[in-house]
Amino acid sequence: MLTRICGLLVCLGLQSLPAFAAPNVTISIPTTGQIKVEAELHEPARSWSFRNAYASALGLAERVEDFRAFEASGQDARVKKSAVGEFRSELDATRISYTVKLSAPRSEHLPYVSWLDGERGVLMFADLVPIDIESLSCKFTLPAAWSVESSITPDGNGQYIVSEPVKAVFLIGSLLRRRSKTVEGMLLDTVLSGMWSFKDDDAWKMAARVMRKHFALTGHKLPSKSVVMIAPLPVSAPQMWKAETRGSTVLLLVNPAERKQMSTAQLGVIFTHELLHLWVPNALKLEGDYDWFFEGFTIYVALRTALELKIINFDGFLNTLGASYKYYLGHPDDLSLVEASETRWTVTSGLAHVYIKPMLVAFLYDLKLRKESGGKATLADRYRELFNGGAADGANGNEAIIKVLGSTPALKDFTKSHIEKRGPLKLEELVREYGLQLHWSGMNTQLTVGPKLDEDQKQVLRSLGY
């Protein structure tokens, strides 16, 4: 049963101002699942706009209600709503107030949106403050037994200085449990809410194991503290879990019906993908839509990491690839990987074309590179190159990554054929030269090692973990 929450105060910035002039904002919870915002602005304003979409979540600004603005004298500045999430006042305003409904979020919108229930909540400033904000200062006053956790460390007065609100994530609630240590000189926190089948320390240790592997993969040390937050999903969902990596925060929401079955090994599999996002794309300062790389290629690298950490075995590695190919075959393929990234959130087959197909392309690229180099070079080397000057800050992500991947004439032809051009992926034909075979067993698609391997094939597969 939901319990009434009251007394939450948060100081945020709600206008595009320099960091030193961040407005003072009070956020209270007049009723369960709803927050009320009252902001004292440092400079007069007449317009405010709220983000209406984030990732696949639409209609976010519809949650903003009862928006009002006031002059310095306290008189009503006469606000009118010009569109969803768009507010304009007739007079200069120095104070605004509004409410945001955060209860009962839609399952398909999670984990991309803020939400709040009677035990905990996630506050993402991307959908709580106007989109033109540049910085903010916040301070929390929580109900009894509640606390707040974030990748941002508060100052001595308990205030959080947020330089990039769109990346800020705060977990609030009762009985939040934090573990904090360093991994290869990088500060890593885990924060858990609710009861789980695994121990809190085991969650941190698994995250640390994965983090070490990703540091070795990239050779890049993350500059700020990273936080892994684990909490139950606030609503029922068909998935066992959902995750979002935003800024320096990894948020994992687990279906309450499944959390007793969640093991540290399953956590490890999830972490191999989500923690890599702290580096790719979050630590890469590239522009454009290159989701095929930071999602699809990342899935493959995460699978390799799980194999190297012995979370899965080699058969499990091949089985995952085979099952993924079956899923891919069930969707029409009329886009290049670059085109699929541009339409990721607007087409229904985004999962197949942004996650699954590029995962299989990454596998084929890794095989080709290992064969070409006699097993001495791997896809992992390309990640280190990206973080070692291979991609300039502000460069087009697609152009920079394709250039790094196409380091030889053969690999350049590969990227053109499988990344830049349209065309279906025929995995069963492409894996034969590496001693692998694909066959159907009942309803499943299996990828296995062939019965007869030549020396080159043995060398490639051994370097792969066979």
Span 355-364, pLDDT tens digits? 999 999 999 9
H/E stretch holding 302 reads helix 298-308
User: Which residues in the chain are classed under CATH 1.10.390.10?
Assistant: 175-275
Q: ω into residue 111 within 30 of 0, thus cis?
A: yes
Which residue shows structure tokens 């009942």? 442
Confidence class of residue 104 from pLDDT cuts 50, 70 and 90? confident
**Taking the domain 175-275, which CATH number applies?**
1.10.390.10
Query: Which residue is listed with tokens 């687990």?
Result: 254
Q: Which two tokens stand for residue 239?
A: 């998935």
Q: Are 52 and 112 within 8 A, CB to CB?
A: no
- Name residue, tokens 């990703």: 214
**Contact assessment for residue 328 and residue 356, using Cβ atoms and an 8 Å cutoff:** yes
Buried b (16+ CB within 10 A) or exposed e, 90-108: ebebbbbebbbbbbebeee
Give the pLDDT band of residue 419 (cuts 50, 70, 90).
Answer: very high
Strands 136-139 and 64-70: unpaired
Q: Write down the mean pLDDT value for the chain.
A: 89
Confidence of residue 8 (pLDDT cuts 50, 70, 90): very low
Task: Provide the H-helix boundaries in 171-313.
Answer: 200-218, 264-274, 291, 298-308
Contacts of 455 (CB under 8 A, 6+ apart): none
Distance CA 14, CA 96 (A): 9
Mean pLDDT of the region 393-409: 95
Residues 337, 420: Cα–Cα separation, whole Å: 6
